[in-house]
Amino acid sequence: MPFTPNRAFKARPRLLTRSKDMHYYTPEGRPVLDATAGLWCANAGHNRDPIVAAIQAQAAEMDFAPPFQYGHPKAFAVSARIAALAPGDLDHVFLCNSGSEAGDTALKIALAYHATTGNATRTRLIGRERGYHGVGFGGISVGGISPNRKLFGSLLPGIDHLPHTYNREKQAFSKGEPEWGAERADALESLVALHDASTIAAVIVEPMAGSTGAIPAPVGYLKRLREICDKYGILLIFDEVITGFGRLGYAFAAERYGVVPDMITFAKGVTSGAVPMGGVLVRKHIYDAFVKSDDPVIDLFHGYTYSAHPLACAASLATLDLYREEGLFERVREIEPIWADAFHALRSKPGVLDIRTVGLVGAVDFESRSDGVGRRAYEGMERLFHEEGMMVRTAGDTFAVSPPLIVSESQMGEIVDKLGRVLDKIF
Ligand SMILES: Cc1ncc(COP(=O)(O)O)c(C=O)c1O
């Protein structure tokens, strides 16, 4: 099982067989409130009728079409819809099947872009400590979560990392973006001084570091990164696999922060998790660097058999319709203050060290047990599932929650109550 202690799981499984809207159901029919949108993906809620119908209709009409040298209309339609949601001239899309593939695709596009525009010395890729960009070799190389890297050899050469932006002393119990930390972007100046800009291809960061425990960008941090990248001709990539499609109240967090990166990677919410899909949005100058002649020669030697899979495209079109019709991104902006107030009430619970909220995300850090980091959170996750009927994510001794964007106000209260009761039990 991915990222799972197999024996502990099999000793006490958490099995799911059905889902609808805000809930999963166990094989016994017990409801489980989904406080994590599955795995940060079911932003429209589960098994929404229009998405189910679109997938069924597509499966009946055309199951698969090869994306190399052939195309199908929904691939172009969905790309145009995604590009229309993105800010600035991020108006071309390359489709794949996951966030990991999207990360590796963006890094490869960055290298190839510089190579084809006469800057072949720009090969260095820069990530950030505590970053997560999936599990491909590119993603773990620029990623900054040690257990995801340490057993997997020497990874890609020519990588460096910015410092992470979290400082509990200066940021604890912030609502939204913490005031402290923009200056952490200046570390990019130091990396430029060390390596020289002529060797650096791209910087990749998550606008909110998700997997490490939901760390929002400090006020002004992403703008500062953009300025430094512009100054030195470095491409800026936002990994929006989690933050895309409404999680922070906008189609992309880039809009929330008023920053246009050169590429955005996305996945998860693009289909509300119903069919695997990921992709990379690129700005016009990047597209133009590859697609410049009418000759029948391949523009980019990269792609996946299942890029733009018809079922994924159909699911995505229906999902994007739902987001628009139900105003789900705007809804997150409206409920963010209510959510933040409700979630921060957990501050009074035992052992709580920090609480962070941004958009429709909440994270609570608590004290670790003496027998090791993550054990108390694992016990809490088990108790939440078996005793409270709720699904959460853990990261070390942090509970991270990110419910579907259709969560009601009473369900927000339910999430906080369940977390509170379990925090009482695990201390
Ligand atoms: C920011 C970010 N990038 C990439 C990924 C990888 O996505 P996937 O698991 O679809 O490969 C994730 C997954 O959680 C993510 O949070």
Is the backbone of residue 89 left (phi > 0), alpha (psi -120 to 50) or beta?
Answer: alpha
Q: Which residues line ligand 1 (CB under 6 A)?
A: 40, 98-100, 103, 132-134, 206, 210-211, 239, 241-242, 267
Residue whose Cα lies nearest atom 8 of ligand 1: it is 99
**Model confidence band, residue 125 (pLDDT cutoffs 50, 70, 90):** very high
Atom of ligand 1 nearest to the CA of 131: 1
Q: Which of 242, 247, 248, 306 to mutate to test the pocket of ligand 1 (most atoms within 8 A of CB)?
A: 242
* CA distance readout (Å), 106 to 77, 261, 288, 381: 21, 12, 15, 34
- Range 253-278 average pLDDT: 98
Ligand 1 centroid from CA 102, angstroms: 9
Atom of ligand 1 nearest to the CA of 101: 11
Distance between CA atoms of residues 192 and 206, nearest Å? 20
Q: What is the pLDDT of residue 365?
A: 98
- Three-state secondary structure of 104-128: HHHHHHHHHHHHHCCCCCCCEEEEE
**Model confidence band, residue 155 (pLDDT cutoffs 50, 70, 90):** very high
**Model confidence band, residue 307 (pLDDT cutoffs 50, 70, 90):** very high
Please tell me the number of Cα atoms within 13 Å of 55 on its side-chain side.
15
> Taking all residues of the chain, what is their mean pLDDT, rounded to a whole number?
98
Ligand 1 centroid from CA 133, angstroms: 6
Ligand 1 centroid from CA 265, angstroms: 10
pLDDT tens profile 318-350: 999 999 999 999 999 999 999 999 999 999 999
Ligand 1 centroid from CA 242, angstroms: 7
Ligand 1 centroid from CA 132, angstroms: 7
**In the chain, what percentage of residues exceed pLDDT 70?**
100
Atom of ligand 1 nearest to the CA of 99: 7
**Model confidence band, residue 36 (pLDDT cutoffs 50, 70, 90):** very high
Atom of ligand 1 nearest to the CA of 240: 1
Q: What is the pLDDT of residue 34?
A: 99
Ligand 1 centroid from CA 38, angstroms: 13
Distance between CA atoms of residues 110 and 127, nearest Å? 13
Distance between CA atoms of residues 104 and 148, nearest Å? 16
Distance between CA atoms of residues 329 and 248, nearest Å? 8
As beta bridge partners, residue 199 has none
**Model confidence band, residue 280 (pLDDT cutoffs 50, 70, 90):** very high
Closest among 352, 422, 366, 360 to 391, alpha carbons compared: 422
In sign, the C-alpha dihedral spanning 133, 136, 142, 148 is positive
pLDDT tens profile 49-95: 999 999 999 999 999 999 999 999 999 999 999 999 999 999 999 99
**Model confidence band, residue 352 (pLDDT cutoffs 50, 70, 90):** very high
